[in-house]
Amino acid sequence: MGLKRVAPLGDHLEGWKRRAPKRTVFVIAAVITLIVVLTAPIPVAGLATFLFLSAGSTWITRQVTVLRRERRQEQHKADEARARQEACSQSELLLENLEHRLWKGSWRTALDGLGEFAITPGNPAAQRARALEDMASWYESVGEGEQALQLRRSALLTDDGAPTLERVRSVMGDPETTRHFDVLMISHFGLPGGTTGSNAQEIEAQARAGLRTGLLHHPIHEWGRAKPLSPKIMELVDGDRVQLVHWSDRITCDLLLIRHPKICDHLVDDLPDITAGHTALIINQPPCRYYGSDGAGEKIWDVNRVHEGLLEKFGAHSWYPIGPAVRDALTSHHGVELAAMPLAPADWVNIIDVEEWRRAGPRTPDGTVRIGRHSRDHVSKWPETRELLEAAYPRGNGHEFRVLGGAESPERLLGGLPDTWQVYRFDSVPVRQFLHELDVYVYFTATDYLEAFGRSPLEAMAVGLPTIMPSQFKTLFGDAGIYTEPSGVRAELDLLMTDPDRCARQIERAWEVVRDRFSYDAHLRRLAEVGVRNTQLQDRSSVPGEESS
């Protein structure tokens, strides 16, 4: 999520040059050169011939480079497709084996295996949904209907195929029962990246505190209704402290929390009957994709429509920006619209489990400096020029660079990746594991791109990595980060690697900030402020999983 200014005219012209049919340009240049050769004096004709041949040689070299790169990419795609097909066949065999064990006497190990299968991202969505349906059938066979209902709801949201009427009926709630939750979260629980990471951390914090969380999946039309539920969310659904809710349910809650304003741009017709003590909209993306001197760019969501939709469906509510960047975009560019909007005085920042992410100590030295970063592989997530990219992620001095999330954007910019780069696909390695194997974290994006929050550097600092980033993050992270321009990265790296005490002090400062502002305890404090019961402060006499009728 982020903001970037409107591209100037020069950028559009440069884009036209890149899209121009190069063969046509080459033919025109050849014709012009031939005319000059035939009509101009010999010295001029000779110079024209030399220039044409030089330009032609350069053009041919570039074409060959492009063809080689395209062939490598095609081979890589073919290899990935073959690997996916092989993995699908292997996962089908594993699933069939687990199904045999489930119904032939080994249900304990089979249920564990099916549960693990269902949350493994590499398994096809339809197979993961089948595993959940298998588990639901087993629980139903032993009389545990509520657990079966939760698993069938999980299966429905995991399968990327169109649902049948029979399947929808199997997940309907009891109209005579009211379910109460401390927090009911409405979000698109299938999105990759920061939205899912933020949801998962808050769900986990609430479950550990003994709070009951309901999850209502709300697809965003433009982003694909069939996108399956994220395995990161599925792993947290236990049917007790964390439950999936359906539009057929009747619900009461202390806090109704809606993450992502685009959800409210076009609310679905079917929503549960919800009575909430307090309603909060978490604004994790500004209304427009970027803002420039000549006005706002592409609109992502409409301020007035979101406000009116929330009022109609849920009544009074508050708006919480996810951080200073989003708040600044709202107040600076939507001041007139916001005059009547319920903007809360505090931001609803992301959180993280510091103790779980924190590593015991630095990586064992091996003579190299292992620099890393993780994010989606989008052009806006990387420095926009070769010079800035090479400055932010410098070569030499024993530097190794690791990327989680893909690196096609820098590969295009550099004309190929250096041998010292090691790249992992998005979500192919657990983020925590990836970060634990680094020495330093460096996070730079395109100059005019503003992150809505910055979950990636937050995770790095929670692990215990000195984190170098641009000054735009200073308002949010304060003393936790090291702030510089791309040109200053090499000097900061040298200081960190030659002064262990300085490095250790920076890590401790970051942990102190993260614990104070972005921890699970900080989240529980703000929940208490909006009326959510906190088991650490108040004894709960209700039985876990109890419902009222």
461-520: pLDDT as tens digits = 999 999 999 999 999 999 999 999 999 999 999 999 889 999 999 999 999 999 999 999
Report the pLDDT value the prediction gives residue 187, as an integer from 0 to 100: 94
Return the minimum-mean-pLDDT range out of 46-60, 161-175, 395-409, 465-479: 46-60
3-class state of residue 400 by DSSP: strand
Report the pLDDT value the prediction gives residue 544, as an integer from 0 to 100: 38
Q: Is 334 left (phi over 0), alpha (psi -120 to 50) or beta?
A: alpha
Which residues, in sequence order, are CB contacts of 256 under 8 Å at separation 6+?
Answer: 184, 186, 274, 276, 278, 279, 280, 314
Pairing of strands 291-292, 273-283: unpaired
The b/e string for 387-425 (b: 16+ C-beta within 10 A; e otherwise) is ebbbbbbbeeeebbbbbbbbbebbbebeeeeeeebebbe
442-461 pLDDT, tens digit each: 999 988 777 888 899 999 99
Higher pLDDT, residue 521 or 40: 521
Over range 260-286, report the average pLDDT.
Answer: 91
Report the pLDDT value the prediction gives residue 225, as an integer from 0 to 100: 67
Q: What is the pTM of this model?
A: 0.76
Q: Contact at 8 Å (CB) between 505 and 493?
A: no
Report the pLDDT value the prediction gives residue 8, as an integer from 0 to 100: 42
What is the residue type of 99?
Answer: E
Q: How far is CA 323 from CA 101, 130, 346, 453, in A?
A: 49, 40, 9, 6
Which residues, in sequence order, are CB contacts of 202 under 8 Å at separation 6+?
Answer: 183, 185, 257, 351, 523
What is the residue type of 495?
Answer: L
Of the candidates 217, 336, 286, the residue with the CA atom closest to the CA atom of residue 452:
286
Task: Give the CATH number of domain 173-349+538-549; options: 3.30.70, 3.30.1380, 1.10.3470, 3.40.50.
Answer: 3.40.50
Return the minimum-mean-pLDDT range out of 49-58, 310-319, 344-353, 489-498: 49-58
Higher pLDDT, residue 178 or 397: 178
3-class state of residue 472 by DSSP: helix
Report the pLDDT value the prediction gives residue 464, as an integer from 0 to 100: 95
Over range 387-392, report the average pLDDT.
Answer: 94
pLDDT score of 545 more than 60: no
Parts of the chain belonging to CATH 3.40.50.2000: 354-518
Report the pLDDT value the prediction gives residue 537, as an integer from 0 to 100: 46
399-433 pLDDT, tens digit each: 899 999 999 999 998 988 888 999 998 878 889 99
pLDDT tier for residue 15 given thresholds of 50, 70 and 90: very low
Q: How many CA atoms lie within 13 A of 164 on its CB side?
A: 4
Report the pLDDT value the prediction gives residue 222, as an integer from 0 to 100: 74
Q: How far is CA 342 from CA 192, 271, 335, 350, in A?
A: 29, 23, 12, 20
Over range 383-408, report the average pLDDT.
Answer: 91
Q: Contact at 8 Å (CB) between 378 and 412?
A: no
Report the pLDDT value the prediction gives residue 183, as an integer from 0 to 100: 97
Over range 48-65, report the average pLDDT.
Answer: 71
Higher pLDDT, residue 130 or 13: 130
pLDDT tier for residue 18 given thresholds of 50, 70 and 90: very low
Pairing of strands 467-469, 440-442: parallel
pLDDT tier for residue 380 given thresholds of 50, 70 and 90: confident
Report the pLDDT value the prediction gives residue 45, as an integer from 0 to 100: 67
Report the pLDDT value the prediction gives residue 144, as an integer from 0 to 100: 93
| Cα distance between residue 395 and residue 389, in whole Å | 11
pLDDT score of 361 more than 70: yes
205-253 pLDDT, tens digit each: 999 999 999 999 998 877 766 778 888 999 999 999 999 999 999 999 9
Report the pLDDT value the prediction gives residue 153, as an integer from 0 to 100: 92
Over range 187-204, report the average pLDDT.
Answer: 89
pLDDT score of 11 more than 80: no
pLDDT score of 533 more than 70: yes
3-class state of residue 23 by DSSP: helix
Task: Give the CATH number of domain 354-518; options: 3.90.1010.10, 3.40.50.2000, 3.30.470.20, 3.30.360.10.
Answer: 3.40.50.2000
pLDDT score of 299 more than 80: yes
Higher pLDDT, residue 324 or 33: 324
| Cα distance between residue 526 and residue 519, in whole Å | 11
Higher pLDDT, residue 448 or 308: 308
pLDDT score of 10 more than 50: no
Report the pLDDT value the prediction gives residue 297, as an integer from 0 to 100: 66
Report the pLDDT value the prediction gives residue 255, as an integer from 0 to 100: 96
pLDDT tier for residue 342 given thresholds of 50, 70 and 90: confident
pLDDT tier for residue 5 given thresholds of 50, 70 and 90: very low
Of the candidates 341, 532, 349, the residue with the CA atom closest to the CA atom of residue 455:
349
Mean pLDDT of all residues belonging to the chain: 85
